[in-house]
């Protein structure tokens, strides 16, 4: 066994996570190096290494890769200066010439069963629907509809996972609200969404 690899993995995981004023369901997980502030994550979701997430509501069954940034703060472009030396909150610089209150971070909402690829940046205030895929390295600045696939810088819609009839039926089915026993029942059928939805009388 490669001891250097084991040591490297242990070192990476030993950094821990930084959370403040947040909720993380007991079935979900944040990997080390991640900062999670004023945010929530519902059940069976995970976030990879070295992510920065601020004022974001994340649904259930979400897969967030490493190095993802969601909901960063903005600077007061309408002021004479954008520097934090004139603002009340603590920042990297120590000097203060005024203490104007300014911390504009609108809530970002990530739906259920969303896959966010590695290195994605999501602007604060964005709403991402259920079942969405955001390709790696994307810079997302617009709201995203249910089951759409977006990628690029700036990110644009490049497709959708299913046809509209299936998407509408998925929204009615809302499988992410099922309890664990119900999920175990439907689990064997998830490889064929259309068949499952027909079985449920939704198509």
The domain ranges of the chain are 11-161, 163-203
Catalytically active residues are: 75
pLDDT in tens, 16-34: 888 999 999 999 999 999 9
Q: What is the pLDDT of residue 126?
A: 95
Q: CB 67: neighbour CB atoms within 10 A? A: 18
Nearest to 48 by CA among 38, 59, 60, 62: 62
The DSSP letter of residue 100 is B
Q: What is the pLDDT of residue 1?
A: 63
11-161, CATH topology level: UDP N-Acetylglucosamine Acyltransferase; domain 1 (2.160.10)
Res 110 pLDDT > 90 = yes
| pTM for the model | 0.89
């Amino acid at each position: 066994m490669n001891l250097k690899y084991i040591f490297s993995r242990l070192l990476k995981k030993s950094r821990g996570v930084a959370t403040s004023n947040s909720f993380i369901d007991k079935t979900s997980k944040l990997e080390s190096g991640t900062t999670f502030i004023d945010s929530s994550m519902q059940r069976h979701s995970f976030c990879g290494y070295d992510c920065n997430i601020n004022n974001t509501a994340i649904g259930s069954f979400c897969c967030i890769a490493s190095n993802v940034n969601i909901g960063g703060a903005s600077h007061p472009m309408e002021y004479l200066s954008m520097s934090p030396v004139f603002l009340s909150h603590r920042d990297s610089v120590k000097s203060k010439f005024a203490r104007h209150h300014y911390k504009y971070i609108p809530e970002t909402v990530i739906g259920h069963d969303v896959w966010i690829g590695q290195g994605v940046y999501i602007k604060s205030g964005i709403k991402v629907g259920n079942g969405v895929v955001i390709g790696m390295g994307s810079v997302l600045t617009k709201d995203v509809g249910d089951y759409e696939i977006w990628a690029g810088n700036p990110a644009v819609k490049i497709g959708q996972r299913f046809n509209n009839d299936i998407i509408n039926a998925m929204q009615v089915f809302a499988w992410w609200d099922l309890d664990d026993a119900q999920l175990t029942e439907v689990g064997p059928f998830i490889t064929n969404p259309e068949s499952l939805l027909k079985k449920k009388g939704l198509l």
